[in-house]
Amino acid sequence: MEVRLLKPEDMFKLREIHKKFYKDEFIFPYDRVGKVLDQFVVAEGEEIITFGTLELTAEIIAITNKDFSAKIRREALYKLYDCLVFNADVNGHDIIHCMAIDDEKWFRHLKKVGFQECRGKYLYNKVSGK
């Protein structure tokens, strides 16, 4: 079993694996525009066991001063959102994430303006002591 960089000739087999096991869970990674770092394959000879890529994602983190009225906060948030969407697009991202929404009212509002719930559960893992 070896770990190696993805090769162009791996794409056909990866599409087959995706179609067979994951077509209803997520779109094939290369059918998106997202920014990726290196892509790796774990293989036994020419048979692919696992593929993985580290995708750079855009996540909105917002801090709002709740001393202002809801009307002013909403207007400010729309202005911020427009700026962040433009910035994400310019930098090659086709999806913006907004995670860890604990406020149910805010969660419903984000869905009204176009955010969609993710399938599955999100996990994280710190990779350094920072």
pLDDT band at 32 (very low <50, low <70, confident <90, very high): low
The token pair that represents 125 in the structure block: 């893992």
Mean pLDDT for the stretch of residues 22-31: 78
| 13's tokens | 């087999």
Q: What's phi and psi for 70, nearest 5 deg? A: -60, -40
On whether the CB atoms of residues 58 and 21 are closer than 8 A, the answer is: no
- Looking at the predicted structure, is the pLDDT value of residue 130 above 70? no
